[in-house]
Amino acid sequence: MVLPDVLPDVLAYLPAISPGALVAQFLVGLSRSMILFLVASGLTLILGVLRVINFAHGSLYMIGAFLGFSVFSMLGSGSTGFWLALLVAPLGVALLGLLMERGLLRYIYAREHLLQALLTFAVLLILGDLVKLTWGVGWKSISPPDFLTGSFLVFGLPVPRYNMFLIIVGFLVAIGLWLFIDKTRMGKITRAAAADREMVGTLGINAGWVFAVVFVIGAWLAGLGGALIAPTITITPGMDIGLIIEAFLIVIIGGMGNIWGALLGALIIGLAHSFGVLFWSQFSIVFPYVIAAIVLIVRPSGLLKSTW
């Protein structure tokens, strides 16, 4: 298919799109952006401070969803189960993150990136198989409480209520992260460690401890993303792989190590996808990659300042 052939079709279709469709598509895209932001912000935080390319970050997201399912079904699949799943699953993943950082990653900080990538890639494979051993290969699902199910109408077109909930939670987490990084001592140390970790060590701050905390926060964010998205998808092994690619794309677009870059990147990818589907659905898959390519050509270090 050649571009000029389909372009008239696309243009002819444009006036037919109602304002309701634009708003619905915007809200649905925004909710996806929020999940992407949760996962990508953790990834970029780890990348910025620890300087480790964590391929296993998608696995942490997947485990968040599976843990959420376990908590949800153990508590009788009701709304209590849902809220506790959102609380417990990310904490469980944070604990796993702590074990991963203290048990494996801290031994390789001084090594070259290739070796670090090899290790985190190995962890991705191991966690993938452990998930299969623990939860089996069957499809799982979580139901949100009644008031979050179904949809409401925007200009006559339905928008799922749960997606609105995702947007709210996403904004709350973004504000929480901003408060943590800008207003707390720990946040200041984190920023300093990202800029110059040797200097932080020289000042008598235990850099190893800073790294552990950052990794745990990153893991918690990934776990929260997994637990939050669970009601909108089918939870299966393999959900880690698709997401990690998108998350890396976002980190690269936004500037490696920059949390606001991750937010910007997530908004771009999420909205490009959802409007791409509306305007030109057969090419919607390529939009995120085209944007990433353009950003890399115009600003190779990402849209915002990279800490690398």
Give the nearer residue to other proteins in terms of CB position, either 70 or 143.
143
Distance in Å, CB of 69 to other proteins, minimum:
11
Give the nearer residue to other proteins in terms of CB position, either 136 or 176.
136
Give the nearer residue to other proteins in terms of CB position, either 73 or 301.
73
Distance in Å, CB of 164 to other proteins, minimum:
11
Distance in Å, CB of 12 to other proteins, minimum:
12
Give the nearer residue to other proteins in terms of CB position, either 149 or 184.
149
Strand partners, 154: 157
Distance in Å, CB of 158 to other proteins, minimum:
3
Distance in Å, CB of 10 to other proteins, minimum:
11
Looking at beta carbons, which pairs linking 127-132 to residues 24 or more positions away fall under 8 Å? 127/56, 127/59, 127/60, 127/62, 127/63, 127/240, 128/59, 128/62, 128/237, 128/238, 128/240, 131/59, 131/62, 131/63, 131/66, 131/237, 132/237
Q: How many CB atoms lie within 10 A of CB 23?
A: 14
> What does the binding site for other proteins look like in residue numbers (CB under 8 A)?
16-18, 20-21, 24-25, 28-29, 31-32, 77, 108, 111, 115, 118-119, 122, 125-126, 129, 132-133, 136-141, 143, 149-151, 157-163, 229, 232-234, 236-239, 241-243, 273-274, 277-278, 281-282, 284-285
- Work out the angle at residue 63's Cα, subtended by the Cα atoms of residues 61 and 67, and round it to the nearest 5 degrees: 125
Give the nearer residue to other proteins in terms of CB position, either 197 or 273.
273
